């Protein structure tokens, strides 16, 4: 009786110990990519933000060099804000089709080329064109947040998202002052530097970032569904989880930047 009870109790305790999660056995939430890749996301966002903050304060003075009025200067900022409100949802859907890494690289490269167009403009209308293109590709920060959301489990996601949102604010501390110093060379020099730094950030993202495993799984599931739909003999596959669309309030927040 007593010995049997001891044996039964010991067996139960051993079984419970095997079922209990162990430290380092994978039960602790971890990133789906290395910390190195997260730091590369931070770096690309920082470079994009500091480049933008270097050039933007010089924009009114640069525009005035084309002998335009205050209204035309306002159009430059209005064009950027309008495009920045319209295109992030489009780029978000594109990221669901071709990948977060690709959209991040394309956005950085597009921003860099747009800055180069502005810095080498020969007329106000070329400057306005470059400014408009810059707004179209102004989704670097939001794409970086999607990347972080993909690779960080919910339990640890908050601190990584907080960091990636804070990075542009840190960049703005240094950018305007640096732009003011560089404007002594010429008004368009900070804008050309903006283009060069942003294109460098695109190269960094292209070389060092990997695609998120979450997107790769989604792409594989989508390919399996398409193959199953094309083959009548195959059993119908379970519907995949739909990608959440941007809520109306998200569009309203973006549109509000056009007016303020």
Measured distance CA(93)–CA(99) in Å, rounded: 10
The conformation of residue 66, written as its DSSP 8-state character, comes to T
The conformation of residue 176, written as its DSSP 8-state character, comes to H
Global pTM value: 0.76
What tens-digit pLDDT sequence spans the chain (260 residues)? Answer: 544 444 444 444 334 433 333 333 455 778 888 899 999 999 999 999 999 999 988 899 999 999 999 999 999 999 999 999 999 889 989 999 999 999 999 999 999 999 999 999 999 999 999 999 999 998 898 899 999 999 999 999 999 999 999 999 999 998 999 999 998 999 999 999 999 999 999 999 999 999 999 999 988 888 888 888 877 665 544 444 444 444 444 444 444 444 44
Measured distance CA(237)–CA(234) in Å, rounded: 8
pLDDT of amino acid 138: 86
């Amino acid at each position: 009786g007593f010995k049997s009870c001891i044996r039964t109790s010991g067996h139960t305790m051993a079984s419970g110990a095997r079922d209990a999660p162990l430290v380092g056995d994978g039960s602790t939430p971890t990133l789906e990519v290395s910390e190195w890749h997260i730091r590369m996301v931070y770096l690309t966002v920082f470079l994009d933000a500091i480049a933008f903050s270097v050039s933007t304060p010089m924009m009114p003075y640069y525009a005035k060099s084309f002998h335009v009025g205050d209204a035309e200067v306002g159009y430059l900022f209005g064009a950027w804000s309008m495009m920045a409100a319209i295109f992030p949802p489009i780029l978000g859907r594109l990221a669901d089709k071709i990948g977060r890494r690709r959209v991040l690289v394309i956005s950085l490269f597009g921003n860099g080329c747009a800055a180069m167009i502005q810095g080498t403009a020969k007329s106000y209308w070329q400057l306005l064109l470059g400014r408009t293109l810059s707004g179209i590709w102004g989704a670097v920060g939001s794409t970086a947040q999607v990347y972080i959301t993909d690779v960080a489990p919910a339990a640890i996601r908050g601190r990584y998202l907080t960091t990636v949102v804070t990075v542009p604010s840190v960049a703005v501390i240094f950018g305007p002052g640096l732009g003011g110093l560089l404007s002594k060379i010429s008004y368009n020099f900070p804008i050309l530097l903006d283009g060069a730094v942003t294109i460098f950030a695109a190269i960094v993202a292209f070389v060092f970032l990997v695609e998120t495993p979450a997107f790769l799984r989604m792409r594989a599931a989508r390919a399996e569904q398409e193959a199953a739909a094309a083959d009548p003999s195959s059993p119908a596959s379970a519907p995949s989880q739909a990608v959440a669309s941007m809520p109306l309030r998200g569009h309203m927040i973006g549109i509000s930047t056009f007016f303020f």
